[in-house]
Structure 1
Amino acid sequence: MTQNIVTGVAGFVGSHLAETLLDRGDRTIGIDEFNDYYDPSFKRKNIESFRDRPNFELIEADIRDLDWNALLKGTDFVYHQAAQAGVRASWGQGFRSYTARNLDATQIILEAAKSSKSLQRLVFASSSSVYGNAETLPTSEKTCPQPVSPYGITKLAAEQLCLLYYKNFGVPVSGLRYFTVYGPRQRPDMAFHKFFKAVLEDEAIAIYGDGKQTRDFTFVSDAIAANLAAASSPEAIGEVFNIGGGSRVSLIQVIETMEQVVGRPIRRDYQASAIGDARHTGADVSKAHKAIGYQPKVSLAEGLRQEWEWIQQVY
């Protein structure tokens, strides 16, 4: 039986990924420290549907405190989804948790991976934040990364660590640069979650800047498909791929689509632009399509409908 490790298993993407792996019959070890970056009760709910499955083992711990040499014995795939997320919180004193959870934790896993006899792939969850204000749109992996936030700096550095361990020790890594993932179980600090919650509570949604900033939004099931493809394709080893949703839209367009989904107007509260937010993001996914067969399938309207249904159940 295939054995996987999913770090950040109780998080947004990690919980979906673990559930998918269990559904196909794999043994899966999930690791999560349930820190308080957002309410841990959300994370507990994320794993409710598979917490008691016989092929699932939950380890509640900080990645840095575990014996990774022992954990990797017999493990075929590691999906490293754990990270300290959030652009705005990465400034100031908060930066220390970003270096600890995004860099130190990744290095510890890589150090153990270099002597693993069973490991077939380590898939690392990176971010479009590494590009910052990209010079070209849509942005390809050949574009020079220029992060505009401390968070983006740590994700880029962790990416480079992965590639160093591949080049020097043959660790079979593959990196995925997620472009704004959304869908059910989305973190409460992320925009769509906050927007839909505000709609439920009949409050205005906060818009930082003029609303004309654009993003490439990726539905969570497409991000999961990318992880599975990166794990199984030999062409993915030693490579980094953009994982986007297939279309770039402005925040105003998103809100208009949300209004269609919820069936009523949404009030808007325009505020000053946030420091560290890129003005535009857009993924050129042709490399991922060619190498691992990645093709986003869920439209923004359908994805928003699914997240709206979930939000109404949560609140």
Structure 2
Amino acid sequence: MKVLVTGAAGFIGSHLCERLLQFDETEVIGIDGFINPSLKQTKERNLTRLLAHPRFRFHQVDLREANLQSILDGVQVVYHLAAMPGVRTSWGTDFQAYVDHNISATQILLEAIRNFPLKKFIYISTSSVYGEKVGKVAEDSIPTPLSPYGVSKLTAEYLCKVYQASYGIPIVILRYFTLFGPRQRSDMAFHRFINAILHRKPLRIYGDGKQTRDFTFIRDCVEGTVAALHADGVIGETINIGGKERASILEVITILEDLLNQKATLDFSDRLNGDPKDTWADISKAQTLLNYNPLSSLKSGLEEQIHDIRYN
């Protein structure tokens, strides 16, 4: 089977490509535009093992400029992860980049694939589309995003749905909840926290630190994502991918202090616009359709991320 993964050099994409290549008959084609120059070194590191694999081919190109007709030749499944991430940076004039890379690029890709006989087009979305909710959030909850980033990802979901309705593209939508683990981007919370404690620097907390998240370890997320490739009865479905346990930001910092044997110096600042107080995934649909069962505890996952930051 030939699988295309967009955003292949990213935190999630590189892990996904490596997992897919563990299936002997699978060939993986990766695309990544390296759209953020500051992440160039990180992405090159993420690709190191992949580029040495005989069943992996890589195209460093912006999706909007790629020769997709050539790249898609023979592809049976597409995982579309490529996107401009981040809630904080999606406001103001920076939003144009989110329009370009999250909305326009998705529409261009959908246009390109509608004439190919795909088995599945798996679009990777985010819990940010839900906004502020109380309790566990199921997939039929009305999306009310709080940030321009969330709006851009929800817009791309709707694009997928209209292309499915009009052209029969076999869409599956996965909504991820707060991923962490090795290779996490340096601007993401856990990476920042670990670096700050290791280097005895103040640790910036937005808000009071009591906000909770449904933290999902990267390996669990990838297993659920790969399961969507093989699962029957998922075309047209939207499925939450959440974690094993929830915690507040302050609880995470306490775990990190214990693991690193070092007290953190906390620097509190205003809560960010677009940042929900709590997230909590109802994963019953993923359990039923994907046999999804997250296994990694928050502490064990943080241990792996600390090791990655220290030694890579």
Determine if the TM-score, normalized by the shorter chain, exceeds 0.5: yes
Q: How does 1:1-315 map to 2 (within 5 A)?
A: 2-25=1-24, 26-36=26-36, 38-117=38-117, 119-134=118-133, 136-314=134-312
Q: Post-superposition shift, 1:159?
A: 0.8
Q: Which runs of 5+ in 1 are unaligned?
A: none
Could you report, residue by residue, the CA deviation over 1:75-105 in whole angstroms, capped at 9, with x for unpaired residues? 1111111100000100011101101100111
Distance between the aligned counterparts of 1:9 and 1:110, measured in 2? 18
What CA distance in whole angstroms lies between the structure 1 residues aligned with 2:76 and 2:259?
41
Residues 34-65 of structure 1: per-residue CA shift (max 9 Å, x gap): 12264210110011112122211110100011
Cα offsets for 1:119-172 (capped at 9, x unmatched): 1111111000001112x3111111111000000000001011111112221111
The aligned amino acid for 1:18 is C
Give the TM-score of the pair, scaled to structure 2: 0.97
Please state how far the C-alpha of 1:230 moved relative to its aligned partner.
1.2
Please tell me the residue identity of whatever aligns with 2:216.
T
Work out the CA distance in 2 between the residues paired with 1:142 and 1:71: 35
Whether the aligned pair in 2 keeps the contact of 1:69 and 1:116 (CA below 8 Å) is no
- Contact kept? 1:289, 1:295, Cα under 8 Å: yes
Aligned length: 311
Secondary structure of the residue aligned to 2:95 is helix
Tell whether the 8 Å contact from 2:197 to 2:262 is kept in structure 1 after alignment. no
Contact 2:197 2:263 survives alignment (8 Å)? no
Name the CA distance, whole Å, in 2 between partners of 1:80 and 1:288.
19
Sequence identity (%): 42
2:130 partner letter: Y
* Counterparts of 1:299 and 1:160, CA distance in 2: 33
CA-atom RMSD in angstroms: 1.1
Kindly state the Cα deviation for residue 229 of structure 1 after the two structures are TM-superposed: 1.1
Could you tell me which runs of 5 or more consecutive residues in structure 2 were left unpaired when the two chains were aligned: none
Q: CA deviation at 1:200?
A: 1.7
Query: Residue 37 and residue 85 in structure 1: after superposition, are their counterparts in 2 closer, same or farther (change >3 A)?
Result: farther
Q: TM-score, structure 1 length as denominator?
A: 0.96
